[in-house]
Amino acid sequence: MAGRTILHSDANCFYASVELLHHPELRGKPVAVGGDPEARHGIVLTADYVAKRCGVKTGMALWQARQACPEVVFLPPRMDLYLRFSHMAREIYAEYTDLQEPFGIDESWLDVTASASLKGDGMAIAEELRERMKRELGITVSVGVSFNKIFAKLGSDYKKPDAITGMREWEFREKAWPLPASDLLYVGRSTRAKLYKLGILTIGDLATAPEEVLHAHLGKMGSILWAFANGYDDSPVKAEGFHAPIKSIGNSTTSPRDLVNNEDVKIVLYLLAESVARRLRENGFRCRVVEVSVRDNDLFCFTRQRKLDYATNVTGEIAGEAFTLFVENYDWGKPIRSVGVRGSDLVTDNYWEQLDLFSSVERREKQMKVDAAVDEVRKRFGFFAVQRGLMHCDERLSHLDAREEHTVHPHGYFG
């Protein structure tokens, strides 16, 4: 696909940047987002550049981050807020191209080849995007400009924050090949170790190594990485469509007491499903898979999932499917300590699907309207203003804190 202009836009320290817009008093201080600092558990999801300079890294346990930087300020994650900013960023991108492919919540590839005649070359478009993100959203992005997706992403990683880097056909060897092989997409810790044993330290080493040697040691991935390093990636940027920029939204909780029967579990599953379904609705998503996870009081865990006949964000449908999955798969050998519900394989509200002659469209529409009305009442008067009758069977369980221990999974490159 010669002659393409591909951008990769990556929001800098995204979660922390959004939080600082809402906490301007923390600017200049080390800030990290993640976990539950009061309960003293969890990991760092992201840190601002002040915290990073102090040694705070993504994936650190909170106590480790505190050791590295005693002054760090921890903020709990607010995924709904970050998703809204992700939506707004994609609305800006949509003014330049309909070929935009999310890579997680804070990154997107954009094929702006067709926009060049109106907006200028890739570097000019990248500069305009960078300024608009600062002016309209208050966050900074780093943008890579290239002829394919792999080097566009490498360009966005090349210089941060608030920077633009070209990795075009006439310059990628000069800029990319001296970089460590681990900077290339999909060269993780294990692959890096295997490459090191072969004497391959840089992307240039990878590009000039015999492909058959790489294939012999790394299998199919060896040939893929060799092609990536040589600039042979011609995968298209997928058109803006019906898939969400994330794979799933989930909620789990440790119950205030052990759950000892199906009715106990049903109460908690419905409470969690209300949280998950509401977040799906707020962010314009529906799920095509429902997943339930269970952990007993001996800490044995299992997860089960099922594909739905229809994509949904209806609370009753998600909760009902989760409870059915639980009943079919748990034999009550032990009391249960915690459960979780997740909606995955997400699509947007614009997703269309074939109607089933044997299902009641009118009934589903009524359920959706009821959910929307409940959302509005709770938004105005609080969560407990409206409750299901089921919740009055055990008020201790129904009043547990269903805070979002969100699980957000980005789409993979080969997805």
Asked if residues 76 and 36 have their Cβ atoms less than 8 Å apart, the reply is yes
Q: Report the chain (415 residues): mean pLDDT per 10 consecutive residues.
A: 86 96 95 75 88 93 92 91 92 93 91 88 96 97 97 96 96 96 92 95 97 94 95 87 74 87 93 91 89 89 91 93 94 90 85 62 82 85 79 76 58 66
Q: Is the domain of 215 the same as that of 292?
A: no
Domain count, the chain: 3
Q: Is residue 193 part of a domain?
A: yes
Look at residue 355 and tell me if it is in a domain.
yes
d(CA 44, CA 77): 10
What's the half-sphere exposure (Cβ side, CA atoms, 13 Å) at 177? Answer: 16
Cβ 313 vs Cβ 370: under 8 Å? no
Q: Which of 170, 191, 212 is the last residue of a domain?
A: 170
Same domain, 148 and 182: no
What single letter denotes the amino acid at residue 225?
L
Q: Are residues 292 and 252 in the same domain?
A: yes
Q: What's the pLDDT at 398?
A: 76
Strand order in the sheet with 301-312: 248-259, 336-348, 285-296, 301-312
Look at residue 198 and tell me if it is in a domain. Answer: yes
The CATH number of the domain where 269 resides is what? 3.30.1490.100
pLDDT of 404: 47
Cβ-based neighbours of 260, under 8 Å, separated by 6 or more: 335, 336
Does the residue 405 lie in any domain? no
On whether residue 184 sits in a domain, the answer given is yes
CB atoms near residue 21 (< 10 Å): 13
395-402 — which CB contacts under 8 Å span 24+ positions? 396/256, 396/257, 397/255, 397/256, 397/257, 397/259, 397/264, 397/267, 397/268, 397/271, 398/267, 398/271, 400/253, 400/255, 400/256, 400/268, 400/271, 401/253, 402/251, 402/253, 402/271, 402/272, 402/274, 402/275
Same structural domain for residues 146 and 27? yes
**Do 121 and 200 fall within a single domain?**
no
Do 151 and 8 lie in one domain? The reply is yes
Domain annotation covers residue 383: yes
- pLDDT at position 348 is 80
Distance CA 261, CA 247 (A): 31
Is residue 240 situated within a structural domain?
no
**Helices 189-197 + 211-218 axis angle, to 10:** 130
Residue 375: what pLDDT? 84
CATH code where residue 49 lies? 3.30.70.270
In this structure, the answer to whether residues 162 and 201 fall within a common structural domain is: no
Whether residues 159 and 197 share a domain: the answer is no
Amino acid at 224: I
Residue 65 and residue 35 share a domain: yes
**Domain containing 222: what range?**
177-229
- As a whole number of angstroms, the distance between CA 402 and CA 136 comes to 33
Cα angle: 72, vertex 59, 134; to 5 degrees: 65
For the record, the structure tokens of 19 come out as 């939080």
CA distances for 210 relative to 144, 179, 342, angstroms = 28, 19, 44
Query: The domain spanning residue 212 has which CATH number?
Result: 1.10.150.20
Pairing of strands 301-312, 285-296: antiparallel
> Smallest Cα–Cα separation from 145: which of 158, 132, 136?
158
SS (H, E, C) 113-177: HHHHHHHCCHHHHHHHHHHHHHHHHCCCEEEEEECCHHHHHHHHHHCCCCCEEEECCCCHHHHHC
Co-location of 265 and 392 in the same domain: yes
Active site residue 107: yes
One of 107, 317, 321, 404 is an active-site residue; which one? 107
Helix (H) or strand (E) holding 213: helix 211-218
Q: Which residues, including other chains, have CB under 8 Å from residue 315's CB and lie 6 or more apart? A: 270, 273, 274, 277, 278, 367, 371
**44 lies in some domain:** yes
Token pair of 375 as six digits? 């959302």
Same domain flag for 39 and 151: yes
Whole-number pLDDT of residue 240 = 65
Same domain, 188 and 305: no
Cβ neighbourhood burial of 33 (10 Å; 0-12, 13-18, 19+)? buried
- Strand ranges (E), 298-370: 301-312, 336-348
